[in-house]
Amino acid sequence: MILRTRGRPINIDNHIVGKVCRDFDNIDSDSILIWENDFAIDFNKIRFSCLLTTNENVVVNEQTRVVYKIPSLNHLVDGDIVSVGNDGNINTLYRANSFHNALLATERCNSNCLMCSQPPKDRNDIEILHDIHTRLIPLIPKDCIELGVTGGEPTLLGEKFFTLMNQLKVELPQTEIHVLSNGRSFAWNRLARRLGEIDNKRLMIGIPLYSDYYQVHDYIVQANHAFYQTILGIHNLSRYNQRIEIRVVLHKQSIPRLLKLANYIYKNLPFVEHVTFMGLEYIGYTPKNIEKLWIDPYDYKDELAEAVEYLAGKGMNVSIYNSTLCVLPERVWQYARKSISDWKNDYLPECSKCVKLDSCGGLFTWNLNKHSAHIRPFLKN
Ligand code: SF4
């Protein structure tokens, strides 16, 4: 799926954020007009914020902001929200027809996990991304069901993190907001309290926890004291009634103590709203660290089932994400969710024959080259 494209910019000084529109009857002065016809526009009669076109040439006045010679704009539908940069980059920020939209808060992070799917970048992107998100959020439809906030580590925005959380609550009061954070910043009680004061009942913080033993967790996230900070952060968040999800990524480092971790979660964090066990993504750092990480999901299916059933048996809300049905014991299929966002979800050729295709979550697109050796279609009797 294409989420960015590029063309040649004219008259663009700063980032433009707006909804794309192809229909002259629906555009307003904030719209980003997509124009793919070869006849001329009378720029004095039509108001729009920026023009995007695949045309090879355009003749415009000095005020009109344009990106031309874009290879294709077919991936954009009316209502999608994009940012247009002065370098001609057009990034899709929000897809009108998708339930899987997320704001990338920053690419900076204070951890450096062995299997990070989006390795941190040490550059200050906070100002620019925050500015873009501040303009994006009011444009998102009020009936948006769910919106993610990802990173990097979103709390590294500092004060801007709370501004963002506040704006999301005010502008999108009906939207479920799901923030992915390593939770370490909330070891500072005042930060957890700040979030609690925003008091958004639709806000969930998803926090990774990879082991019950601090050295294993710290090794996986490549940061000293991370375990203690994360556990303290989770407790502080709970103190201020923040909804919390625990995320456990399944790999060679986390599997050996998986049942102990489940036990730890039940004994020490029974207040969390959701625990999810997640298959490994073959992207980012994972291919580089594959020797340290890879276990065929078929080979950990029993440990996974035991951990899931243990927590479910204790009354906790448990899920399995990023896993295919054919490598899971049937008794835990009820916990398997179709969790992979549409734009990165794929299936193997043999899946087309499988009668479970509609209920199976499939694979990440980037896992098509690294998946269980035990994927087999369920065939009709
Ligand atoms: S064969 Fe494909 S569709 Fe069927 S369960 Fe396995 S991964 Fe899912």
User: Could you tell me where the DSSP H helices lie in 222-366?
Assistant: 226-239, 258-268, 290-293, 301-313
Count the neighbouring beta carbons within 10 Å of the beta carbon of residue 342.
12
Strand blocks (E) in 95-171: 101-104, 146-150
> How are beta strands 4-6 and 89-94 bridged, if at all?
antiparallel
Atom of ligand 1 nearest to the CA of 348: 2
For residue 222, the one-letter residue type is Q
Alpha carbon nearest to ligand 1 atom 1, residue: 377
Considering the entire predicted model, what is its pTM?
A: 0.94
Q: Which of 348, 375, 379, 380 to mutate to test the pocket of ligand 1 (most atoms within 8 A of CB)?
A: 375
Weakest mean pLDDT among 44-58, 223-237, 244-258, 296-310:
44-58
3-state DSSP call for residue 62?
coil
Top CATH class of 101-367 equals: alpha beta
pLDDT of residue 230: 98
pLDDT at 38 over 70: no
CA-wise closest residue to 266 among 214, 209, 323: 209
Number of Cβ within 10 Å of residue 6's Cβ equals 15
Please determine, for residue 192, whether its predicted confidence score (pLDDT) is greater than 90: yes
Are residues 296 and 289 in contact, defined by beta-carbon separation less than 8 angstroms? no
Q: Which atom of ligand 1 is nearest to the CA of 375?
A: 6
CA of 333 to the centre of ligand 1 (A): 12
Answer yes or no: is the C-beta of 364 below 6 A from any ligand 1 atom.
no
pLDDT computed for residue 65 by the predictor: 93
State pLDDT tens for residues 326-379: 999 999 999 999 999 888 999 999 999 999 999 999 999 999 999 999 999 999
Domain boundaries, the chain: 4-89, 101-367
Instruction: State the average pLDDT over residues 164-171.
Output: 98
SS3 177: strand
- Cβ 297 vs Cβ 251: under 8 Å: no
pLDDT category of residue 39 using cuts at 50, 70 and 90: low
101 has which bridge partners?
147
Give the model confidence (pLDDT) of 51-72 as tens digits. Answer: 999 998 887 788 889 999 999 9
User: 269-321: per-residue pLDDT in tens?
Assistant: 999 999 999 999 999 999 999 999 999 999 999 999 999 999 999 999 999 99
CA–centroid distance, 351 to ligand 1, in Å, is 5
The amino acid at residue 55 is N
Distance (Å, whole) CA 157 – CA 336: 33
Ligand 1, atom 2, residue with closest C-alpha:
351
